[in-house]
Amino acid sequence: MAQAVIESPATSFGPVKLVDAGVLSIGYVEAGPADGPAVILIHGWPYDVHSFAEVTPMLASAGFHVVVPYVRGYGSTRFLSDGTIRNGQQAVLANDTVELMDALNLDTAIIAGFDWGGRSADIVAALWPERCTGLVSVSGYLIGSQAGGKLPLAPEAERQWWYQYYFATERGRDGYDKCRREFAKLIWRTASPKWNFDDATFDRSAASFDNPDHVHIVIHNYRWRLGLADGEAEYDELEKRLASGPKISVPTITLEGDANGAPHPDPSSYAEKFSGPYSHRTLEGGIGHNLPQEAPHEFADAVMEVQSWSSANRGGRHVRHDRTVERRHSDSPIPR
């Protein structure tokens, strides 16, 4: 039975509900018919649920049951106990999604996300394929390991990860805590250099960074990747499985923007990680890292297409193709 749900202050696209799930009280936005195919949309850093402010009503109007949670350390999501470790490792963040599904009585769902959310979506699809009917992941296969995080990269690639190394220091922790908004705005600008967002758009997401656990989760996430912070022992077996680079068998569409200024892998490097129905789309027109907010029509289209594949796949259909997509104008209709 689902946990009791209460409402907290609204986002720009719907009220925020709260539900106890695992070690968290998770804040989330919900839209669409309760009996529609479920889709969970997961944001990244430094963003929040508003990355899906336009995607959510598009999917709801198409009959989807849409759930958009605040990741631990963001918005209205809180830990139920002061004694719980503020852990940001990849397996824990993905497990939060499964715990949310259990709390909301969602047996299965399409999982879609970008940045941290894309990694969590990948992990749910890889480790719990029976819970994931389809996957939409910006920047493709993002599952990593601490061993991989210790390997040096080429100088230009290392430069792109400057903030990760900054966060490895106590100066970096203090600097981020002191300048959360300024730091986030810098990342928004460098990760999406052609996205002309205004102050109001940024400010509505930046409020989520006032969460009391935000800095703890962000710093632990990046230090854990480099092996500078320990995870929790109960997740060691999951991390061992993830370190093997498991393939993903569920129907999947991966997306990339042609102007993504954040570190991201080349699509050719991960195509073989997807063993089921699969397609990759590169979006043209200056689309950056925050793809769901910059190209909401295309992101929503991908979710709807994966849903159609999921249904067709039960009949044995198998799809694999790549294509480049030119961004539609915001007033263009969505194919149903």
Q: Are strands 14-21 and 6-11 parallel, antiparallel or unpaired?
A: antiparallel
For residue 203, what are its two tokens? 């400010």
Q: What is the pLDDT of residue 334?
A: 28
In a domain, 336, yes or no: no
In a domain, 233, yes or no: yes
Q: How far are the Cα atoms of 109, 113, 236 from residue 70, in angstroms, in the given order?
A: 17, 12, 25
Helix, strand counts (H, E) of the chain: 13, 11
In a domain, 278, yes or no: yes
CA distance 248 to 127: 9
User: Tens of pLDDT along the chain (336 residues)?
Assistant: 445 555 555 567 889 999 999 999 999 999 999 999 999 999 999 999 999 999 999 999 999 999 999 999 999 999 999 999 999 999 999 999 999 999 999 999 999 999 999 999 999 999 999 999 999 999 999 999 999 999 999 999 999 999 999 999 999 999 999 999 999 999 999 999 999 999 999 999 999 999 999 999 999 999 999 999 999 999 999 999 999 999 999 999 999 999 999 999 999 999 999 999 999 999 999 999 999 999 999 999 999 999 999 887 665 445 556 666 655 433 332 222
In a domain, 333, yes or no: no
Q: What is the pLDDT of residue 282?
A: 98
Q: What is the pLDDT of residue 1?
A: 41
Q: What is the pLDDT of residue 329?
A: 39
Q: What is the CATH number of the domain that holds 121?
A: 3.40.50.1820
Q: Are strands 78-79 and 24-31 parallel, antiparallel or unpaired?
A: antiparallel
Cα three-residue angle 231-237-239, rounded to 5 degrees: 55
CA distance 266 to 227: 24
Write out the residue range of the structural domain in which residue 300 sits: 6-326
Nearest CA to 65 out of 101, 89, 98 is that of: 101
In a domain, 143, yes or no: yes
For residue 331, what are its two tokens? 């007033």
CA distance 310 to 135: 10
Q: What is the pLDDT of residue 13?
A: 82
- Expressed in angstroms, the distance from the first to the final Cα of the chain is 33
pTM for this model (two decimals):
0.92
> How many domains does the chain divide into?
1
In a domain, 106, yes or no: yes
For residue 200, what are its two tokens? 């109001």
For residue 299, what are its two tokens? 């992101």
Cα three-residue angle 255-259-265, rounded to 5 degrees: 55
